[in-house]
A = this chain, B = another copy of it.
Amino acid sequence: MSGEDAPAQQQNAVDQKQETKPTEEPKTEPPKTESPPAAAAEAAATPAATTEKVPEEETFTYRALVLTGYGGYDKVKLQVKKGKPTLKAGEVLVRVKACGLNFADLMARQGLYDRLPSPPVTPGMECSGVVEAVGEEVTDRKVGDKVMVLNRFGLWQEVAVVPANHTFLIPEGMSFEEAAALPVNYITAYMMLFDFGNLRPNQSVLVHAAAGGVGIAATQLCKTVKDVTVFGTASASKHETITQGGVTHAIDYRTKDYVEEVRKISPKGMDIILDPLGGSDTHKAYNLLKPMGKLITYGAANMLAGQKKNLLAVAKNWYHQFSIHTLSLIQGNKSVCGFHLGYLDGETELITEAMNTILDFYKDGKIKPRIDSTWHLEQVGDAMRKMQERNNIGKVILTTEPMPEEEKKEETKKEDKKEDKKKEDKKKDDKKKDDAKKDDKKDDKKDDKKDDKKKEEPKKEEKKEEEKKEEPKKEEK
């Protein structure tokens, strides 16, 4: 249960970090009551904190993950940036504690997500952290605020500058990992189920990838409505966990035809279907809708086959892409919706409204992000692999917490090698070794899990091996 252990461990790390800067926080903390905007803006603009940091600005460095080009897991590299970012009006500077991984990040790495600017660029749509500086005109955030952040990109780094209205205060008792796990998955699930889906009591919902981040969020949100039946697809080893989490009928999509399984239990079909898969699965979903049913498609996970862009998978997905005529919709009394939070970044009001409801659910104990695993920035490749190969149950998180000294030495070597771009071939050989080492480490830590996985997913394991063999070959060209 690494997901359960991780937050506690991480919380300690976070506390340590906060202890290193106790002098900053009291100075600029305004009273919690709401002050008039003008006065508050003036207070926020007072350079009390920033004045102290002037010398720091010259020596200011921070680590950042950078997508250096489209491709495999190793295209996201850890770099050190210099110089403190400047703040524009309305912005805040956040000291990042934890970051969430999303499917869009995986798509982006393969060049399949057009909301990320061209490389080199820092990915990352969500993170949690502490406000370290506020720009002019920021009235509702202050230095020391613990916040979660939602942004189009750029959050996988130790320091991030974002518009203040892209931040949300972390409620009491929520860890930084939970806060980093919440925004994308819960807002996505919430808006799909409650805005497009209009979920009501007694309805039935099909949740694909029910053990993934959105899947777990959707399941929890379904349970906030009376007598909702959740059909969830996941591989068999995850069934116990998702059933405990609220899935009524867990379906192993790897060994069974999920359409048949759903029909067996609910012959009329589903009221709502959340479809992250795309391609032919969207067609299946459409046919599986009840009258007045809503199909909400929010991704094209079927496009992701292998760690690099798989042109065949992309073409197949395009070829099978669902296209619907209005006459069919009318005769079926059906709704087809598309959702992607990444394309909704101008809609601050809608997002804030959704987030407020979600945070109320959290405070009432109705939802709780489930962390699958937490990885150091240096391990981002492995973190992405875990998610892409669907080995996670819940959210995959990156932490900015420094690696333990022992591991750090290994990573430092790697960092040095990265700087030395002329010795690229050598580096890659070493990297291969490092990867192998890391795999060993993971094996030590997660022996039980790995065994389970081997039993159920022998093909995937084989594929993984094949990829490893292929990778260096391609890169040697």
Interface centre among A195, A338, A346 (most CB of B within 10 A): A338
Q: Is the CB of B321 within 8 A of A336?
A: no
Q: Is the CB of A292 within 8 A of B198?
A: no
Q: A282 contacts which chain B residues (CB < 8 A)?
A: 326
Q: A329 contacts which chain B residues (CB < 8 A)?
A: 297, 336-338
> CB < 8 Å: which of B330, B334, B338 contacts A334?
B338
Q: Is the CB of B321 within 8 A of A324?
A: no
Shortest beta-carbon distance from A431 to chain B in Å: 35
Q: Is the CB of A291 within 8 A of B344?
A: yes
- Report A298-319 residues with CB < 8 Å from chain B CB: 298-300
Q: Is the CB of B333 within 8 A of A343?
A: yes
Shortest beta-carbon distance from A235 to chain B in Å: 25
Q: Is the CB of B326 within 8 A of A292?
A: no
> CB < 8 Å: which of B291, B336, B344 contacts A292?
B344
- Report A322-370 residues with CB < 8 Å from chain B CB: 322-340, 343-344, 346-347, 350
Q: Is the CB of A326 within 8 A of B347?
A: no
Q: A326 contacts which chain B residues (CB < 8 A)?
A: 278, 282, 297, 321-323, 336, 338
**A73 contacts the other chain (CB 8 A):** no
CA of A123 to CA of B338, assembled, Å = 38
Shortest beta-carbon distance from A286 to chain B in Å: 10
**A191 contacts the other chain (CB 8 A):** yes
Shortest beta-carbon distance from A123 to chain B in Å: 19
**A196 contacts the other chain (CB 8 A):** yes
Q: A347 contacts which chain B residues (CB < 8 A)?
A: 291-292
Given contact pairs A323-B325, A327-B338, A335-B337, a sample of 19 additional A-B residue pairs in the complex whose CB atoms are under 8 Å apart: A195-B198, A198-B198, A278-B326, A282-B326, A291-B347, A291-B350, A292-B350, A294-B337, A297-B330, A299-B330, A300-B327, A321-B326, A323-B323, A326-B338, A329-B338, A331-B343, A332-B338, A333-B339, A336-B336
Query: What are 18 residue pairs bridging A and B, where the CB atoms are less than 8 Å apart in the complex?
Result: A191-B292, A195-B198, A196-B198, A278-B326, A291-B350, A294-B337, A299-B330, A322-B325, A323-B324, A324-B336, A326-B338, A330-B340, A331-B340, A333-B340, A333-B344, A334-B338, A335-B336, A336-B337
